[in-house]
């Protein structure tokens, strides 16, 4: 069964939409699709977990970024895992959380900014909804303990992101990174 086919039976994502533009973009469906796809890819039962998402604007995410990261600037997505899940070893996948007696097991919270998402999608000439799916996959993986601090961790996380997105019909969002980096090197010479 495909991740999107399961949407009718699963409510993995609890959305709080503070910016009406997210409603017009069909955010709840995009968030659910992305989170279910991640969990399905990792062999997790989506109906046993919960992700809370705040769909907001740049002003709100800048305030959150300032409060929690000391950077009072807008960003695309922030995540707060309900508990530390990182593996502790570079390039090694974190253990998959096991729900306890209380289900659904809360994985954590995500905040996503419409303004920054739209700006990034436009700048990269990518469809907005595909970029949102990517950021929600990215944020969900952070809740599960994945990160991109080291090169090995980034390679692991980005590999999973591209596999999940491919299953959803979304092109590899990192495909242009190497090309862009090489192009920048050529310009810097």
pLDDT in tens, 125-141: 999 999 999 999 999 99
Distances (CA, A) of 141 to 23, 67, 131, 189: 24, 22, 15, 37
Binning pLDDT at 50, 70 and 90, where does residue 7 land? very low
Alpha helix segments (H runs only) across the chain: 20-24, 27-41, 58-69, 114-124, 128-143, 151-167, 175-188
Domain span including residue 85:
3-188
Burial code of 48-60, b = ≥16 C-beta within 10 A, e = fewer? bbbbbbbbbbbeb
Separation between Cα atoms, residue 60 and residue 112, nearest integer Å: 9
Could you identify the residue written with the tokens 């890819």? 41
**Quick one: pLDDT at residue 177?**
57
Per-residue model confidence as pLDDT tens digits over 146-188: 999 999 999 999 999 999 999 999 999 998 754 333 333 333 3
CATH at residue 163:
3.40.390.30
pLDDT digits (tens, 9 = 90+) for 99-122: 877 778 999 999 999 999 999 999
Q: Are strands 13-17 and 49-56 parallel, antiparallel or unpaired?
A: parallel
Provide mean pLDDT across the span 72-79.
96
Q: Residue 16: its pLDDT value, please?
A: 97
pLDDT at 182: 32
**Burial class for 8, CB neighbours closer than 10 Å (0-12, 13-18, 19+):** exposed
When divided into structural domains, the chain yields a total of 1
In this predicted model, what pLDDT tens digit does every residue of 33-62 receive, in sequence order? Answer: 999 999 999 999 999 999 999 999 999 999
> Which residues, other chains included, contact 24 with Cβ-Cβ below 8 Å and sequence gap of 6+?
none
Closest to 58 in 3D by CA, of 15, 18, 116:
116
């Amino acid at each position: 069964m495909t991740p999107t086919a399961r949407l009718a039976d699963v409510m993995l994502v609890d959305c709080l939409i503070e910016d009406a533009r997210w409603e017009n973009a069909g955010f709840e469906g995009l968030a659910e699709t992305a989170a279910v796809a991640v969990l399905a890819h990792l062999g997790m039962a989506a109906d046993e977990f919960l992700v809370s998402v705040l769909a907001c604007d740049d002003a709100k995410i800048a305030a959150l970024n300032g409060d929690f990261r000391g950077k009072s600037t807008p960003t695309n997505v922030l995540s707060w895992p309900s508990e530390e899940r990182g593996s502790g070893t570079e390039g090694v996948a974190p253990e998959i959380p096991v729900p306890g007696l209380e289900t659904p097991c809360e994985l954590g919270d995500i905040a996503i900014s419409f303004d920054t998402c739209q700006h990034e999608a436009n700048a990269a000439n990518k469809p907005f909804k595909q970029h949102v799916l990517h950021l929600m996959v990215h944020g969900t993986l952070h809740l599960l303990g994945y990160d991109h601090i080291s090169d090995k961790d980034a390679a692991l996380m980005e590999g999973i992101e591209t596999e999940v997105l491919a299953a959803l019909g979304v092109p590899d969002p990192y495909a242009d990174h190497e090309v862009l980096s090489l192009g920048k090197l050529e310009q810097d010479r």
